[in-house]
């Protein structure tokens, strides 16, 4: 079991009562925001959503733990399966003492509050995560506005980040749409296959469009072993496939002109990704500068 999953079992054990999903997510967020658990890169990331800070990865793993009979749900309330198994207790005990202490700190400070009071407090102290909230009566008097990126040809890679951190980055950057330029939009990483990526985009208010004709087919990417081999591949892409996709470049350029849109592919380092060459082609078509989001 993943360490972060053990932590959420510990959270429910420490709370010693069923928690609504909303309350549970807010306590998980506070673990990241206010304890040493936040320094663990493998723990859940969060993004502004309907009721404040939210994690699509956490919600997915809640379902997995329910399926494995570690968690049960009654209406909207989550709790550990009763009686708590020796296996669950052993998993919690595998966590470092400092992590278990962090969990106890958060539950002792916040778990006794009403859900409404906790949400109001989180919104007041972390207002960014309230920017998409539907609970308008709980918003603080002063709220940050979602930024809107200036006109440019933006690109972004999702390698090495969770889907929650990825979308949080896009919202912080003022991006309003995603142009998926992968030829084959599949991924073993949760949230980045076409169906899930487009679904999450819509939930967060971002447009999603797929331009498969502007990607590099998978069979052309075999045998890549270093920077020079990637550059040869990108040269072939630019001079061959891309030069024949004038209509696709024009269509993508119209999207980029209409709203701040990020050209999406896998690689974190844009020098290894075809979106670098595609962005330059779109820049020539639109007259806009290229901005690679880190």
pLDDT, one tens digit for every residue, the chain (294 residues): 999 999 999 999 999 999 999 999 999 999 999 999 999 999 999 999 999 999 999 999 999 999 999 999 998 899 999 877 888 999 999 999 999 999 999 999 999 999 999 999 999 999 999 999 999 999 999 999 999 999 999 999 999 999 999 999 999 999 999 999 999 999 999 999 999 999 999 999 999 999 999 999 877 777 677 888 888 889 999 998 899 999 999 999 999 999 999 999 999 999 999 999 999 999 999 999 999 998
Structural domain boundaries enclosing 128: 3-138
Residue that is last in its domain, among 91, 107, 138: 138
Please count the other Cβ atoms lying within 10 Å of the Cβ belonging to residue 160.
11
Q: Do 66 and 132 belong to one domain?
A: yes
- Do the domain assignments include residue 73? yes
Q: Do 70 and 174 belong to one domain?
A: no
Q: Do 123 and 17 belong to one domain?
A: yes
Short-list 163, 151, 192, 126, CA closest to 290: 151
Q: Do 165 and 271 belong to one domain?
A: yes
Q: What pTM was estimated for this model as a whole?
A: 0.94
Q: To 10 degrees, the CA torsion angle through 199, 255, 261, 267? A: 80
């Amino acid at each position: 079991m993943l360490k972060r999953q053990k932590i959420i079992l510990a959270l429910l054990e420490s709370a010693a009562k069923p928690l609504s999903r909303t309350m549970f997510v807010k306590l998980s967020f506070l673990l990241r925001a206010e304890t040493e658990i936040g320094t663990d890169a493998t723990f859940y990331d969060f993004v502004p959503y309907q009721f404040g800070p939210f994690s699509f990865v956490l919600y997915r793993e809640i379902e997995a733990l329910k399926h494995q009979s570690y968690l049960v749900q009654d209406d909207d309330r989550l709790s550990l399966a009763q009686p708590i198994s020796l296996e669950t207790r052993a998993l919690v005990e595998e966590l470092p003492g400092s992590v278990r202490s962090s969990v106890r700190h958060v539950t002792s400070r916040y778990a006794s509050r009403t859900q409404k009071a906790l949400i109001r407090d989180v919104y007041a102290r972390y207002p960014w995560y309230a920017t998409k909230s539907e609970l308008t009566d709980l918003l603080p008097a002063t709220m940050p506005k979602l930024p809107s990126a200036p006109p440019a040809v933006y690109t972004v890679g999702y390698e090495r980040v969770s889907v929650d951190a990825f979308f949080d980055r896009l919202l912080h950057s003022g991006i309003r749409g995603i142009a998926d330029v992968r030829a084959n939009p599949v991924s073993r990483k949760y949230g980045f296959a076409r169906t899930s990526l487009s679904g999450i985009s819509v939930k967060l208010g971002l447009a999603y469009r797929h331009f498969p004709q502007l990607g590099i087919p998978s069979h052309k990417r075999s045998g890549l072993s270093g920077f020079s081999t990637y550059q040869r591949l990108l040269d072939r892409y630019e001079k061959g496939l891309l030069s024949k996709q004038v209509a696709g470049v024009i269509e993508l350029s119209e999207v980029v002109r209409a709203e701040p849109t990020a050209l999406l592919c896998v690689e974190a380092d844009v020098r290894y990704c075809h979106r670098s060459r595609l962005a330059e082609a779109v820049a020539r078509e639109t007259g806009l500068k290229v901005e690679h989001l880190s």
